[in-house]
Amino acid sequence: MAEVLLFHHSLGLTEGVGAFADELRRAGHTVHTPDLYEGRTFTDLEAGVGYAQEIGFDTLVARGERAASALPGAVVYAGFSLGVLPAQKLAQTRAGALGALLFSACVPVSEFGEAWPEGVPAQVHGMDADPFFVDEGDLAAARALVADAADRRLFLYPGSAHLFAERGAPSFVPEASALCVERAVCFLDAVES
């Protein structure tokens, strides 16, 4: 079974993130959910993004790297939205990475290096009409990431919710979230450590 480091979105380490992590744990995987916000949570994206900007995206990525330093190298890095930044950086740059699960966001590979590392599989999950994912370049980055790669996949779900897997939030889409969890579990089951 895989070891997963799962980073939260701009709302912080919410119960919804914990519920998603618990789904992966029930499937037999070890999931770590570090708190990059040091206890702060928000109920709206604008406030959460404002806080992230206040402390700095570099600070959040550095906190993610510190969380990873306590774990072995053979880890799958996962993140929701803002949490994709440390997850993707670690998947691209930390030796021994086993894979990446990127939810509701993806940045250009060039942000963290020249190319995606060989042998590091990835999944990107997003809604096909999510304005954050589609209009801000994440969908284009995801398509570039998976182009001509047998071990990298993009999954698009119908709808416009950004945090569609955030159980308990108004944006929660149960059917899409269930399918997302199922695909993530299959990915983790296939990862070889």
Which residues of the chain register pLDDT less than 70?
193
Residue 73: count other Cβ atoms within 10 Å of its Cβ: 12
Domains present along the chain, CATH in parentheses: 3-190 (3.40.50.1820)
Which residues are CB-neighbours of 12 under 8 A, at least 6 positions away? 35, 36, 37, 40, 41, 42, 48
pLDDT (0 to 100) of residue 193: 57
For residue 43, what are its two tokens?
A: 């109920």
Q: CA separation (Å) from 81 to 4, 48, 72, 148, 167?
A: 16, 11, 24, 24, 15
Q: What angle do CA 173, 7, 71 make, to 5 degrees?
A: 140
0.85 surpassed by pTM: yes
Contact 80, 4 (CB under 8 A): no
